[in-house]
Amino acid sequence: MSLWNRFCNAAIAVGIVVVAVSFVSPGVSAGQAQETAAAPEASPEIHAVLEKIVHPKKVKVGDQVVARLTESTKLKDGTELPKGSHVLGKVTELKVKADKEGPSKLGILFDKAELKDGKEMPLSMALVSLAPRYEPGSVDPVAAENTASGAGRISQMSQAQGRTEGSAGSDTLSKGLGIRGASSVSLEAMRPGVCYVPDITIASYSMGEPGTIFQSTKTTVYLDSGSRLLLLAQ
């Protein structure tokens, strides 16, 4: 084969490679763009349901509390918690009945996440809202009362309540109740500081001991299985 023929063949081969790359590269870029677009946005919110009843007659201080995530969450530090994974906590305070010394109380602190493979990891979070188990066809108190947007309620909480340093070095959400917003929202959203269970209020909540304190002057405070929880993670 002559030198000229070899040169022509080499040029044709290079042209074929260039054309192939020009077709493949845009496809890869598009795929990467789609993958990036599909990635969930980071959020401090964790939505979960309680797996077992937490009642003063059935538990004691130090007993474990388990809740299951109802939707996947990607935290601000990049940690991803798939739907169906768990958050783990413990009972921190119990007072069965309201009396002259004060209301009945139940304290709970969540401080770990458990992935589907069983791996546990520490996680600073605060239980900031409680709602009863959702019963199809019934009136949902969350939908009936809610008026604040998801982004708005986080901003309102930060501005109205701020953050203080906990004694153990972890961020602590300062005490406060009744955070309200003015913007429109999905009716299923829960709001920090609001307890949707009748006759029970949130006295305080934090990412450190004693966690969230529920109280009542009318009834014994307990959390039924299936109760909906809103937690905010650091």
Residues 90-115 pLDDT 10s: 999 999 999 999 999 999 999 999 98
Q: How confident is the model at residue 31 (pLDDT cuts 50, 70, 90)?
A: low
pLDDT tens sequence across 150-192: 444 444 444 333 333 333 333 334 333 332 222 333 446 899 9
First to last CA, the chain: 71
CA 82/CA 60 separation, integer angstroms: 30
pLDDT tens-place string over residues 109-151? 999 999 888 889 999 999 999 999 987 777 778 877 764 444 4
Q: What is the pLDDT of residue 39?
A: 55
Where b means 16+ CB within 10 Å and e means fewer, 3-42 reads eeeeeeeeeeeeeeeeeeeeeeeeeeeeeeeeeeeeeeee
Q: What is the model's pTM? A: 0.67
Among 121, 123, 118, 126, residue whose Cα is nearest residue 92: 126
In whole numbers, what is the pLDDT of the chain averaged over residues?
75
Residue 37 pLDDT > 50: no
| pLDDT computed for residue 141 by the predictor | 83
Distance CA 189, CA 179 (A): 13
Domain boundaries, the chain: 1-39, 45-233
Nearest to 150 by CA among 192, 116, 108: 192
pLDDT of residue 5: 56
E strand spans, 70-216: 73-74, 80-81, 86-95, 104-114, 120-122, 125-131, 163-165, 171-173, 201-204, 212-216
Inform me whether the pLDDT recorded for 18 exceeds 50. Answer: no
Which one-letter amino acid corresponds to residue 148?
Answer: A
pLDDT tens digits for 177-230?
A: 332 222 333 446 899 999 999 999 999 999 999 999 999 999 999 999 999 999
Q: Which helix (H) or strand (E) holds 100?
A: none
In this prediction, residue 138 carries a pLDDT of 75
Look at the block and give the residue holding tokens 């996680």: 123
